[in-house]
Amino acid sequence: MSVLDNVDASTNLAKNNELQLLVFRINNSPESAYYAINVFKTREVVESRNHYLTQIPSSHHLLEGTIILRGLQIPILNLPAWLSSPLTKDEIKISNILVCDFNGVIIGLRIMSAYRVIKKNWNEMHAPDSYRLKSDGLVMNDTRLEDGSLCLILDYEKLLADAIPQALVDVASDAENLKGLNIPEKLKNGTVLIAEDSKTAQRALIQIFQHAKIDIKLFDNGKKLVDYITSLGKDALAETPAIITDIEMPEMSGFTVIQILKANPLFNKIPIIVNSSMTSENNRREAESLGANGFIEKTKSHNIIPLIVSVMGAK
């Protein structure tokens, strides 16, 4: 669709602390909020009426069914219902489906219409504390459009966790990965620093590290992590066995976190692992070129401790 044409390369944006967002609406009400998603998690927008929906018995109420698109069977999630703004039957007939790719999991989000693509700097993305008061919050951060309208970025990983939990990380399997694993004393006795803005992803990481009895310190964005480790100064290397960072975060992207820490002689020996749903080869190469020591998909986060041990052994 034309609104998705001519987007810039994701890695060029991310390394400049920028991103592009596809802005859309979930209904036709003049009071309807604007919502957005990173364009590099999107594939296309198709008209709902052109695709037959096959319902799935006993499925989650947000999982409407599946459609066949270009030979793929794609589950359709009811985004308006998740946001407590269900569409009428007539609205559903004229709605669209936003086809997205999360860690190789292809899904369709029901929306009303795609609005436009905008470019933003991550420091223009805001995450008010009010979004984080409840662990079940749906909004991660927000930004403003040119006319001052508020645009909300949702925790799409939470939507997946609610409707298709089997598509996300299998936390239970991380116990198997720890069997026979020789965890270095520095990892046992230190504190792994993690920059991750998704509450859903945070919960998975908390469980994984609790199982391994490894201490972590979580930050809602990259800037908070950088500010914290800077406050440690020369003690950072001794106290921090590894750093884990997402790529997409308000205030400061993960790529910028890597650039800053690898440029500082106090911190550049600390291994950095990227844990992201932006899993293209370009993003992997860019992370490596900036100095990241490892890259793992969020759906495979249960493998993150063996990866840290491997990276520490290689240094």
The CATH code of domain 2-166 reads: 2.40.50.180
What's the pLDDT score for residue 12?
63
Q: Which residue has the higher pLDDT, 315 or 74?
A: 74
Percent of the chain surpassing pLDDT 90: 54
Residue 114's pLDDT band (boundaries 50, 70, 90)?
A: very high
Q: Quote the CA–CA distance of 285 and 104 in Å, as a whole number.
A: 18
Fold agreement between 2-166 and 171-314: no
Give me the mean pLDDT over the 146-160 stretch: 90
What's the pLDDT score for residue 224?
95
Give me the mean pLDDT over the 180-186 stretch: 86
In the 8-state DSSP scheme, what is residue 292?
-
Q: Quote the CA–CA distance of 288 and 49 in Å, as a whole number.
A: 43
Q: Which residue has the higher pLDDT, 170 or 225?
A: 225
Q: Quote the CA–CA distance of 168 and 198 in Å, as a whole number.
A: 13
Domain ranges of the chain: 2-166, 171-314
Q: Quote the CA–CA distance of 87 and 106 in Å, as a whole number.
A: 23
Give me the mean pLDDT over the 174-198 stretch: 85
Task: Compute the half-sphere exposure of residue 78: CA atoms within 13 Å on the CB side of its CA.
Answer: 19
**pLDDT digits over 216-231, tens only?**
999 999 999 999 999 9
**pLDDT digits over 253-291, tens only?**
899 999 999 999 999 999 999 998 776 777 788 889 899
Q: Tokens 């970025």 identify what position?
A: 153
What's the pLDDT score for residue 138?
86
- What is the average pLDDT value for the chain, to the nearest integer? 87
At the top level of CATH, the class of 171-314 is: alpha beta
Q: Look at residue 92 and tell me whether its pLDDT is greater than 70.
A: yes
Indicate the burial class of 65 (C-beta count within 10 angstroms; 0-12, 13-18, 19 or more). Answer: middle
Q: Which residue has the higher pLDDT, 45 or 302?
A: 45
Task: Determine contact, residues 113/2, Cβ cutoff 8 Å.
Answer: no
**Among candidate residues 139, 126, 304, the one with its CA nearest the CA of residue 206:** 304
**Among candidate residues 75, 100, 93, the one with its CA nearest the CA of residue 24:** 100
